[in-house]
A and B are shown apart, each in its own frame.
Chain A
Amino acid sequence: MENHVELSNVSKYFDAERKFHALHEVSFGISHGEFVSIVGPSGCGKSTLLKIIAGLDKPTSGEVKFSGGPVCGPHNKISMVFQAFGLFPWRTVLENVEYGLEMRKVPKDERRNSARQYLEIVGLAGYEHMYPKQLSGGMKQRVGIARALAVEPEVVLMDEAFSAIDEVTAEVLREEVAEIHKQTGKTFVLVTHNLSEAIELADKVVVLSSRPARVKKILPISLDRPRDRTHSLFVHMHMDILHLLKEELENTLIRHKLRGMKELEALHDMERPKDEAQPKQTLAAT
């Protein structure tokens, strides 16, 4: 079957001079109902990638396809959960959840009803008339999730959706998201820097390299759900990904170090007779 979302050779430069390279020919597919986690070293361009899938940002080259058609701007069937929740503080919980439907010109009664339904799903029935500032972080993100689901998307994108929430609350929320994924069969894409979270939720973890981000590895996760973090395979998987990311981080550090060393050497070279310029080789060997 054709992939639900398909990224082919997505590259992104942030500037016209093509100096600031964020993504380099990223390609992978996401099938219908799949839960994909994207991990990578911090600042590698994970969120940029998600924004491109959401149609919020355009790739410099390459293409994102959704259900076979190119994504060129935000799509009705693609919804998003935001890192800092993205709630409108002047709207009540209910009005926030209604927002997406309101933008689609759904009649008031109808959108109110479905907003209530989704609030119930995320366990916030009874909080309809509160303002976001009266809620805890976890509750705010529940509102964010209800809002994303209320527009009945096929794909839910989550940008570091659990990282601004305390660990215990986040764990509960993850379990609920896993349950929602199971119940609704929607496609989920989660960008995160939390490896356990990535493994716990995903059918597939996409590991990105450091900037410019390339797909370093794609690991299918076939553990039974609900997942046990102490399971040996889980631990193994965690170690694997951690190893990959550390490797990336070290590569970056070495690159930076080398660059620094080369500059230093260049300085030394100027002070030194030419035939003594040997240490370069030993350095490259490390």
Chain B
Amino acid sequence: MSVEKQRALTLSLTGGVFAGDKFASCLWIIPLASGFAVWEVVTRLGMVPSSNLPTFSSVLVTFFSSIQEPSFLLRIAHSFMNLICGLFLAFSTALPLAFAAGSKNKFDCTLTPLIMLFGALPDLSFLPLLVLWFGPGNVAAVIMASVAGFFPIYFTVREGTKNIPRELFDVTSVFRSDRLSTFTKMVLPAISPHMFSGLRLAYDFAWEIIIAIEIATRVAGIGNFIEGNVSAGSLQSGFAAILAIAIVAIVVDRAFFGSLESWAKRWA
């Protein structure tokens, strides 16, 4: 195997742009730390009123005390559960439709323009209606999250299905694969990189929607916690909650969806 190929392989396996260079892969910490330092200095020196921005250190202190409170953790869990339910709903509706659209041209022509139209609408514009129909609660949040997550899953899986080379279908026929095997052993692995990319995007989209809904409709999640504390003047708690969401969102994105995606792309 050539050197380039080997390098490309390590690159794709580690999934990083900076693979092989540990120092370079940690460089992002510098601007992040400087950002926090500037924040600390600016607030310490009183250049920003503390009613608008608390010191970074006080946010950290609040963060570490908050994450020891069960009620705080429960709120995060609540939002996370709504998000996961929404994602599950999005996945289970988008997947079959996307398969059908990707493999049957007529179905694609019937359905996809509608989905594009629907997708062009700002998702949150439906929120008041959902609240009217289902009340301001988990149901509305889950449905909204599933709407947000539907589009990336639908379009990536449809694209993936369309991109399967015709020749591979001939291969399955020549070797007399039955329908089920063709699906599980050919179509599914062929689209899995697309599918996991879509799922990851959907996860990112759904977080935004979930927080927005909680703020707008007072569903008892972490978004609602931020809103409540900020309007009550407790900015430290608000920032601590943002930090907590950021950590959950990033860790799950990287550790779970990221590694799922690079696993699915191990051969690509």
Contacts and interface: CB of A to CB of B under 8 A. Distances in A.
Interface stretch (B166-174, B213-221, B236-244): B166-174
B267 interface: yes
Interface in A99-143: 99-100, 102-104, 131-134
B167 A82 contact: yes
Given A90-B267, A103-B181, A133-B267, A82 B171 contact: yes
A88 interface: yes
Interface string A24-56: 000000000000000000000000000100111
A68 interface: no
B170 A82 contact: yes
Contacts of A86: 165, 167-168, 170-171
Interface in A38-85: 51, 54-56, 74, 76, 78-80, 82-84
B177 A103 contact: yes
B173 A74 contact: yes
Contacts of B167: 82-84, 86
B115 interface: no
Contact of A104 (B9, B176, B268): B176
A76 B176 contact: yes
A78 B185 CA distance: 21
A189 interface: no
A33 B93 CA distance: 52
B174 A56 contact: yes
A185 interface: no
B87 to A, nearest CB: 24
A75 B90 CA distance: 41
B213 to A, nearest CB: 38
B131 interface: no
B176 A134 contact: no
A151 interface: yes
A260 interface: no
B80 to A, nearest CB: 31
A74 B165 contact: no
A100 B5 contact: no
B174 A79 contact: yes
A283 to B, nearest CB: 42
A220 interface: no
A56 B173 contact: yes
B23 interface: no
Contacts of B175: 74, 79, 99-100, 103, 151
Contacts of B177: 103
Interface residues of B, number: 24
Q: Give the residue among A54, A83, A89, A132 with the most B Cβ atoms within 10 A.
A: A89
A267 B176 CA distance: 55
Given A84-B165, A134-B5, A134-B9, A89 B174 contact: no
Nearest to A151: B175
A82 B173 CA distance: 12
A78 B175 CA distance: 9
Contacts of B178: 103
Contacts of B268: 89-90, 133
Given A99-B175, A103-B176, A134-B1, A88 B168 contact: yes
Given A86-B167, A88-B168, A88-B189, A80 B267 contact: no
Interface string B56-83: 0000000000000000000000000000
B202 interface: no
A135 to B, nearest CB: 9
B212 interface: no
Interface in B227-268: 266-268
Among B1, B174, B186, B266: residue with most chain A CB under 10 A = B174
B190 interface: yes
A134 to B, nearest CB: 6
Contacts of B181: 103
Given A80-B174, A82-B171, A134-B1, A88 B186 contact: yes
B263 to A, nearest CB: 11
A104 B178 CA distance: 10
A111 B167 CA distance: 24
B221 to A, nearest CB: 38
A104 B267 CA distance: 25
Nearest to A150: B175
Contacts of B171: 80, 82, 86, 88, 99
User: Which 6 pairs, one residue from A and one from B, show the smallest C-beta to C-beta distance?
Assistant: A100-B175, A86-B171, A90-B189, A131-B267, A90-B267, A80-B174
5 contacts: A51-B170, A79-B175, A86-B167, A90-B267, A103-B181
Given A51-B170, A131-B266, 8 more contacts: A74-B173, A74-B176, A80-B170, A86-B171, A88-B168, A88-B171, A90-B190, A133-B268
